[in-house]
Amino acid sequence: MNVVALIDHAILHPTATDNALVEGCELALKLGVASVCVKPYMVARAQSLIGDSPVGVGTVIGFPHGSNATIVKGAEAEQACIDGATELDMVVNVANVLSGNWEYVRADIAAVQLIAQSHSAILKVIFETDYLDNKQIIELCNICTDLQVDFVKTSTGFGYTKRESGDYNYTGATIEHIRLMLENVSGNVQVKASGGIRTYQDALTLAEMGVTRLGTSASQAIADGGTGESY
């Protein structure tokens, strides 16, 4: 299994500079990943660097907390597509998910989906599973199945929570959450795992479960860990 071809190579850290973008796009082309996922202001430059290759250019909407007003998310999505993005990873409004305001959450997703569809762009909906319980994850899966978005996605990789030690960290994609998401979407909705995927074995395990995209910045390490046809 070519797990590298499932990777959305992330160039999203606040400190990632334009030089990091160039290096990341070069790596993406060398490895043959599915796409680069870049910060919104980087989209046009990334598109020029990727050119006509099979590697897609994606960006994030309402990142990382999903708290932007829906009209702002829509404007962000529209500009991203104008700049050349072919994939949009939007964050749900986490606070409204936690509050059970499902009508707002559905409308928020649907508004961005409408723009994505108008540009023939792929839409991935980020749940930020570190903050959610299983019932909330299932309800989001139900909404995304009803809307038939392209992907549901676990995490931003920036969903930090305070631990008992007092430090802040995140968990990201877990086997439990991936299984739950796979079991509760249907139709054309696929699952993207993101957050904490660092090794070839991590990637292979998730792919064998049925995940069809992997969000990570550890693309080279994953590629280095594969051998033979599994590379």
In tens, the pLDDT along 206-225 reads: 999 999 999 999 999 999 99
Token pair 């989209």: residue: 43
CA distance linking residue 212 with residue 89, whole number of Å: 15
Of 184, 188, 231, the C-alpha closest to 207 is 231
pLDDT higher than threshold 90 for residue 168: no
Residue 223, token pair as written in the block: 């590629």
Rounded to an integer, the average pLDDT of 133-160 is: 96
CA distance linking residue 149 with residue 71, whole number of Å: 19
- Report which DSSP code applies to 92: P
pLDDT tens digits, residue range 77-131? 999 999 999 999 999 999 999 999 999 999 999 999 999 999 999 999 999 999 9
- Catalytic residue among 73, 124, 153, 202, which? 153
- Asked if 136 and 97 count as a contact pair (C-beta separation under 8 A), the reply is yes
- Catalytic residue among 73, 124, 192, 202, which? 192
pLDDT at position 226? 66
**Facing residues of 204 across strands?**
none
Residue 161, token pair as written in the block: 């929570």
- Asked if 154 and 177 count as a contact pair (C-beta separation under 8 A), the reply is yes
Rounded to an integer, the average pLDDT of 46-64 is: 97
The domain spanning residue 134 has which CATH number?
3.20.20.70
**Facing residues of 59 across strands?**
38, 88
Number of domains in the chain: 1
Q: Is 83 a catalytic residue?
A: no
**Pairwise pLDDT comparison (22 vs 172), residue with the higher score:** 22
Q: Is 153 a catalytic residue?
A: yes
102 exposure class (CB count in 10 Å sphere: 0-12, 13-18, 19+): middle
pLDDT higher than threshold 80 for residue 162: no
Rounded to an integer, the average pLDDT of 155-163 is: 82
**Pairwise pLDDT comparison (229 vs 68), residue with the higher score:** 68
Rounded to an integer, the average pLDDT of 11-27 is: 97
CA distance linking residue 139 with residue 196, whole number of Å: 24
What's the full length of the chain, in residues? 231
- Catalytic residue among 8, 89, 130, 202, which? 89
Give 3's pLDDT tier (boundaries 50, 70, 90). Answer: very high
Q: Is 30 a catalytic residue?
A: no
pLDDT at position 47? 98
Peptide bond preceding 64: is omega within 30 degrees of 0, i.e. cis?
yes
- Helices 200-209 and 175-184: crossing angle, nearest 10°? 30
Residues 6 or more apart from 123 whose CB is under 8 A from it? 87, 88, 90, 112, 113, 116, 117, 149, 150, 151
> What range does the domain containing 214 cover?
3-230
* Percentage of residues of the chain with pLDDT beyond 70: 96
pLDDT at position 135? 98
